[in-house]
Amino acid sequence: MINKWLAEKLKNDVGVSVASVLLPDSHKVDMTKWAVVACDQYTSEPGYWEEVRSFVGDSPSTLSLIFPEAYLETDDEAGKENCIRAIGARMEEYLQSDLFVELKDTVILVERHFPGGRTRCGLVLAVDLERYDYSAGSRSLIRATEGTIMERIPPRIRIRENASLELPHIMLLIDDREETVIEPLFAQKDRFSKVYDFELMKNGGSVKGWAVSEETSIEVLYNALAKLADPGHFMEKYNLTDGQDTLLFAVGDGNHSLATAKACWEKIKNSLTPEERKNHPARFALVEVVNLHDKGLIFEPIHRLLFNADADRFIKGFLRHYNDLRCQAYTTLHKPEKPVSGSHVIGYISESQEGWLVVEKPAGNLDVSTLQGYIDIFLKENPDTAVDYVHGSEVVERIGRKKGNMGFFLSPMDKNELFRTVILEGALPRKTFSMGEAHEKRFYLEARRIR
């Protein structure tokens, strides 16, 4: 166990708790069937989740502990409530059957190998929800990088508020250009106990993990994070002059899950004494921290799909809207070879047509803000139209060409600009970027008690 002084420094200075982590006992569990991809992936492809269900069968699996969002939009409220109750019951069943091994006061080094050879490294630990604020204009130590869609939180609250466990697909980013936090621990990984090593399902690659619990290593971790969080270091790194509050952790994936944890904690803490609030398990959320500069971390665009949409109406409305704003907006059948500097060029596809939307002199810096700005207007004017956010141009090609659908292709953002943009301009438009393709997302694996 780490000493009380170090635990308090971690929480107070860098918003971190070295928590007890639960891992499935690999002698009782087929780990490949245990770990499934984040619930907010393949939302327009329920067939993916049916294949996962068929593969898992009756084996213990995190599939029984999550609610894939592909099924959230159904009108079967009774079915959803039954599913949520079943999730809570299965959590208790797994706990009572001694399915888990508890690693006390531990952080876990994670090494993810992707098909094709890339590797991404991370560190699983718990963060203090008191240091996180997802509201617009937040200046908290832990911040959302994209706008939070408030209507996506209540269904998640219904799952978490009665759950005994949390399983993270949340990934937080640190801007550690000098590689001082995670990389030194990986250089010593052979000193630590390996706690998992297995193949992931559905083209997910493989994953390895090592438990880090010795106090000297945790103190080294604290010192490195504390330097990143130091106000003077922070101001110098980003060339700031007006007393900006430190941003240490930026949410890369799973913002709505972290926002849900925050909302549940805000509700719980009102019933607790000040002493109980200090270390209540619901005050913290388990996450994986990844260095923004990890060579295996790739930023991909998140494309858009519209369902039950009139393509002609959308295009005419889009052009009218941006021309009314004194931008120069037009369509072209071929991508401009040399667009006007600063222009946004967005590919689109439907059942009967394809081309490019071009907006010169746009108000925002990113093409996603231009597209999403009009999509929001179009959805209000056409309530029968729905939008989805998807990874991979192949999905847009396949689904966007179906009758009544439209697909839009967006460009990736430079990951090196993320922290400075969030510090100076606040959260980006929702669903601006994705850290890799859908199959590269975090798989549910570790768990933590939250009651």
**DSSP string computed for 93-123:** HHHHTT-EEEETT-EEEEEEE-TTS-EEEEE
Are residue 147 and residue 203 in the same domain, yes or no? yes
> What number of other Cβ atoms are within 10 A of residue 218's Cβ?
23
Are residue 293 and residue 347 in the same domain, yes or no? no
Are residue 130 and residue 266 in the same domain, yes or no? yes
Are residue 175 and residue 41 in the same domain, yes or no? yes
Per-residue model confidence (pLDDT) at position 165: 96
How far is the C-alpha of 393 from the C-alpha of 300, rounded, in Å?
10
Q: Tell which wins on pLDDT, 69 or 175.
A: 175
Each residue's pLDDT tens digit, 72-116? 776 677 878 888 899 999 999 999 999 999 999 999 999 999 998
Q: Domain range holding 122?
A: 4-298+437-449
Each residue's pLDDT tens digit, 289-338? 999 999 999 988 899 999 999 999 999 999 999 999 999 999 999 999 88
CATH number at residue 346: 3.30.1760.10
How far is the C-alpha of 291 from the C-alpha of 250, rounded, in Å?
10
Each residue's pLDDT tens digit, 114-137? 998 999 999 999 999 999 998 878
| Strands of 98-200, DSSP E | 100-103, 107-113, 119-128, 132-133, 142-144, 165-166, 171-174, 193-199
**Model confidence at 173: pLDDT above 70:** yes
Burial of 227 (0-12, 13-18, 19+ CB in 10 A): middle
Are residue 266 and residue 380 in the same domain, yes or no? no
Per-residue model confidence (pLDDT) at position 183: 97
The number of domains in the chain is 2
Are residue 227 and residue 312 in the same domain, yes or no? no
Each residue's pLDDT tens digit, 154-166? 778 888 988 999 9
Q: Is 143 helix (H, G, I), strand (E, B) or coil?
A: strand
Burial of 410 (0-12, 13-18, 19+ CB in 10 A): buried
Per-residue model confidence (pLDDT) at position 150: 67
Are residue 373 and residue 418 in the same domain, yes or no? yes
Beta strands 142-144 and 249-253, pairing class: parallel
Q: Is 128 helix (H, G, I), strand (E, B) or coil?
A: strand
Are residue 408 and residue 315 in the same domain, yes or no? yes
**Model confidence at 46: pLDDT above 80:** yes
Are residue 278 and residue 407 in the same domain, yes or no? no
Each residue's pLDDT tens digit, 180-239? 999 999 999 999 999 999 999 999 999 999 999 999 999 999 999 999 999 999 999 999
Are residue 206 and residue 309 in the same domain, yes or no? no
How far is the C-alpha of 317 from the C-alpha of 339, rounded, in Å?
22
Distances (CA, A) of 341 to 141, 438, 440: 35, 32, 33
